[in-house]
């Protein structure tokens, strides 16, 4: 290596570290292949599992020059999960964006660590086939265009077999069983499970796939919960104030116990592959169901119809790794504006895999009992309906008359 610059320190690489086999091996592997020092960054987004201090120590034992743990749970819930809730973000009408939401917050912490430790490169453990590589790298470019990206699994030929051999040869403090069948990604918003026998899309998920949810077939007695929202964000559960993180955690526990939020879909990845994914997101799915219904009560019709389209586009952008993009920011502003009156309470029953809304009330409600009722107290003047329909149907009437005059049958009878 020619040391022509006055700074003779080796390059530094910040690595998104999970504590698993691939990223543990990547620490030494990056060092050997590039000569760089590795700083391992573990970000706590509520993935549970191993103690993060143990993970931090493992990074050092695997050869990292620094290891850094960021507790991003509150930040993740407030700044990432809550916007997804306001958007009712369900990719392909089903998947609540679990992994797609966590990548941008991890990216923020990786970039901060790169600045703090003077690194020029950010590395992650993704393969070349998934969405997460895109989310990491587009995110990094968006926040720090000067930083380089490195994916050792994809770019430095760090295959699983190589990783196992490397870990054994170097006596790395990490289990190297070849039979962990699944690739799992988890955070407080949910859990994603893929690969293994699930790749045969006819195979039913087995019980061991799940950990956030209990089997809905054998659920305990129904659990009734009252959720209070303020401008689209849950602020109390059964009258107790909660932070966004606490709201998601408590709903994970209670809806999870009832088997709510299990999802099994074939999904369109950004890279063009269709892949089978199993998710469990009890808190997210229960909160979205409640939030949607409160919107039904409080959001004006035209705004609500348009918001559905905006929410879907927002969701696709987030799925596609465009969290920091200008369009996403603009759509955020629209969605935020729609939440102005989304305040009030939703009562729901959690049971047998379902979160069912059973009541709603709001000071900001647009529901008018006297307009809706068929009983006494009706304030809706039905005599106006006749003229409304006459004018509303006029264009259809005109075009139907033209078809009839031209000897054509109107649509319905042809
Ligand atoms: N398919 C999902 C997504 O792209 C989940 C990805 C989960 N990642 C993983 N390493 N298992 O958002």
CA 376 to CA 365: how far, in whole Å? 21
Residue owning the nearest CA to atom 2 of ligand 1: 99
Query: pLDDT tens digits, residue range 21-46?
Result: 999 999 999 999 999 999 999 999 99
CA 209 to CA 170: how far, in whole Å? 31
For the chain, the average pLDDT equals: 95
23 known ligand binder: yes
Nearest atom of ligand 1 to the alpha carbon of 131:
4
User: Does the active-site annotation cover 103?
Assistant: yes
CA of 186 to the centre of ligand 1 (A): 9
- Predicted pLDDT at 116: 97
CATH of segment(s) 12-180 = 3.40.50.620
- Predicted pLDDT at 264: 98
In order of 13, 64, 126, the CA distances from 147 in angstroms are 10, 19, 18
CA 149 to CA 126: how far, in whole Å? 12
- The matching CATH number, chosen from 3.90.1260.10, 3.30.110.70, 3.30.56.10, 1.10.3720.10, for 184-299+341-361 is 3.90.1260.10
CA 149 to CA 13: how far, in whole Å? 9
Residue owning the nearest CA to atom 10 of ligand 1: 185
Task: Name 275's bridge partners.
Answer: 267
Would you place residue 377 in the very low, low, confident or very high pLDDT band (cuts 50, 70, 90)? confident
CA 132 to CA 186: how far, in whole Å? 13
Look-up of token digits 């709903």? 251
The structural domains of the chain, with segments of one domain joined by +, span: 12-180, 184-299+341-361
CA 78 to CA 408: how far, in whole Å? 59
CA gyration radius, the chain: 26
CA of 191 to the centre of ligand 1 (A): 9
Say yes or no to pLDDT of 6 above 70.
no
Say yes or no to pLDDT of 5 above 60.
no
Helix then strand then coil, in percent of the chain rounded to 5, is: 45, 20, 35
Say yes or no to pLDDT of 1 above 50.
no
- Predicted pLDDT at 182: 87
- Predicted pLDDT at 156: 93
Share of the chain above pLDDT 70, in %: 96
CA of 252 to the centre of ligand 1 (A): 19
User: Does the active-site annotation cover 230?
Assistant: no
Nearest atom of ligand 1 to the alpha carbon of 194:
11
Q: Which of 12, 73, 99, 132 is catalytic?
A: 132
Which helix H or strand E contains 101, and what residues bound it?
A: helix 98-117
Say yes or no to pLDDT of 178 above 70.
no
Which helix H or strand E contains 58, and what residues bound it?
A: helix 52-61
User: Does the active-site annotation cover 383?
Assistant: no
Which residues surround ligand 1 with Cβ inside 6 Å? 99-100, 131-132, 183-185, 192, 194, 267, 277
- Predicted pLDDT at 376: 86
Would you place residue 3 in the very low, low, confident or very high pLDDT band (cuts 50, 70, 90)? very low
Say yes or no to pLDDT of 411 above 80.
no
20 known ligand binder: yes
Length of the chain: 414
Would you place residue 47 in the very low, low, confident or very high pLDDT band (cuts 50, 70, 90)? very high
Say yes or no to pLDDT of 111 above 80.
yes
CA of 185 to the centre of ligand 1 (A): 6
Query: pLDDT tens digits, residue range 335-373?
Result: 999 999 999 999 999 999 999 999 999 999 999 999 999
95 known ligand binder: yes
- Predicted pLDDT at 8: 67
Task: Name 279's bridge partners.
Answer: 192, 263
Q: Per-residue DSSP letters for 206-265? A: PGGG-SSS--GGG--S-EEEEEEEETTEEEEETTEE--HHHHHHHHHHHHHHTTTTEEEE
User: Does the active-site annotation cover 22?
Assistant: yes
Q: What are phi and psi of 213, to 5 degrees?
A: -125, 145
Q: Per-residue DSSP letters for 293-324? A: HHHHHHS-HHHHHHHHHHHHHHHHHHHTT-TT
Contact between 360 and 294 (Cβ < 8 Å): yes
**Shortest CA distance to 187 belongs to which of 221, 212, 162?**
212
Q: What is the largest CA-CA distance in the chain?
A: 90
- Predicted pLDDT at 413: 56
Would you place residue 412 in the very low, low, confident or very high pLDDT band (cuts 50, 70, 90)? low
Would you place residue 217 in the very low, low, confident or very high pLDDT band (cuts 50, 70, 90)? very high
Query: pLDDT tens digits, residue range 221-234?
Result: 999 999 999 999 99
- Predicted pLDDT at 4: 43
374 known ligand binder: no
CA of 214 to the centre of ligand 1 (A): 22
Most informative mutation of 125, 138, 194, 316 for ligand 1 (most atoms within 8 A of CB):
194
Higher pLDDT, 60 or 414: 60
Rounded mean pLDDT of 108-136? 97
Which helix H or strand E contains 153, and what residues bound it?
A: helix 152-155
Nearest atom of ligand 1 to the alpha carbon of 98:
12
Query: pLDDT tens digits, residue range 264-322?
Result: 999 999 999 999 999 999 999 999 999 999 999 999 999 999 999 999 999 999 999 99
- Predicted pLDDT at 390: 97
- Predicted pLDDT at 2: 42
CA 271 to CA 304: how far, in whole Å? 32
- Predicted pLDDT at 195: 84
- Predicted pLDDT at 387: 97
Q: Which of 22, 185, 214, 320 is catalytic?
A: 22
17 known ligand binder: yes
- For 143, half-sphere exposure in the C-beta direction (CA atoms, 13 angstrom radius) is 24
Higher pLDDT, 408 or 389: 389
- For the whole model, what pTM was predicted? 0.95
Q: Per-residue DSSP letters for 320-378? A: TT-TTSHHHHHHHHHHHHHTTT--EEEEEEEETTEEEEEEEE-TT----HHHH-SSTT-
């Amino acid at each position: 290596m020619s040391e022509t610059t006055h700074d003779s320190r080796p390059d530094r690489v910040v690595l998104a570290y999970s504590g698993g086999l691939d990223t543990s091996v990547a620490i030494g592997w990056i060092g050997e292949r590039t000569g760089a020092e590795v700083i391992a960054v573990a970000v706590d987004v509520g993935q549970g599992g191993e103690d993060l201090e143990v993970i931090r120590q493992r990074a050092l034992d695997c050869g990292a020059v620094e290891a850094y743990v960021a507790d991003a749970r509150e930040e993740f819930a407030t700044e990432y999960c809550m916007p997804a809730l306001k958007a009712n973000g369900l990719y392909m009408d089903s998947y609540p964006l679990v992994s797609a939401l966590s990548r941008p917050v991890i990216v923020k912490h990786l970039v901060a660590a790169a600045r703090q430790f003077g690194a020029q490169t950010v590395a992650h453990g993704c393969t070349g086939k998934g969405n997460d590589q895109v989310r990491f790298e587009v995110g990094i470019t968006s926040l720090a265009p000067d930083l380089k990206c490195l994916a050792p699994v994809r770019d430095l030929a760090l295959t699983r077999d190589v990783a196992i051999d490397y870990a054994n040869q170097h006596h790395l403090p990490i289990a190297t069983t070849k039979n962990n069948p699944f690739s799992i990604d988890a955070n407080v918003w949910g859990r994603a499970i893929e690969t293994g026998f699930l790749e045969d899309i006819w195979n039913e998920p087995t019980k061991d796939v799940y950990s956030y949810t209990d089997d809905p077939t054998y659920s305990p007695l129904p659990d009734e919960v009252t959720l209070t929202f303020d401008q689209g964000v849950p602020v109390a559960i059964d009258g107790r104030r909660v932070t966004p993180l606490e709201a998601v955690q408590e709903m994970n526990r209670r809806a999870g116990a009832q088997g709510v939020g299990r999802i099994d879909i074939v999904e369109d990845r950004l890279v063009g592959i269709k892949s089978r994914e199993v998710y469990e997101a009890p808190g997210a799915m229960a909160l979205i169901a409640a939030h949607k219904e409160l919107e039904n009560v409080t959001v004006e019709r035209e705004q609500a119809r348009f918001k559905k389209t905006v929410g879907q586009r927002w969701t696709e952008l987030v799925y596609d790794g465009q969290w920091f993009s200008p369009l996403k920011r603009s759509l955020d502003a629209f969605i935020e504006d729609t939440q102005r009156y989304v305040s009030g309470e939703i009562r729901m029953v959690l049971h047998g895999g379902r979160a069912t809304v059973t009541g709603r009330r709001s000071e900001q409600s647009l529901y008018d009992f006297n307009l809706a009722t068929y009983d006494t107290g009706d304030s809706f003047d039905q005599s106006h309906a006749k003229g409304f329909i006459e004018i509303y149907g006029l264009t259809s009437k005109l075009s139907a008359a033209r078809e009839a005059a031209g000897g054509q049958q109107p649509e319905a009878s042809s």
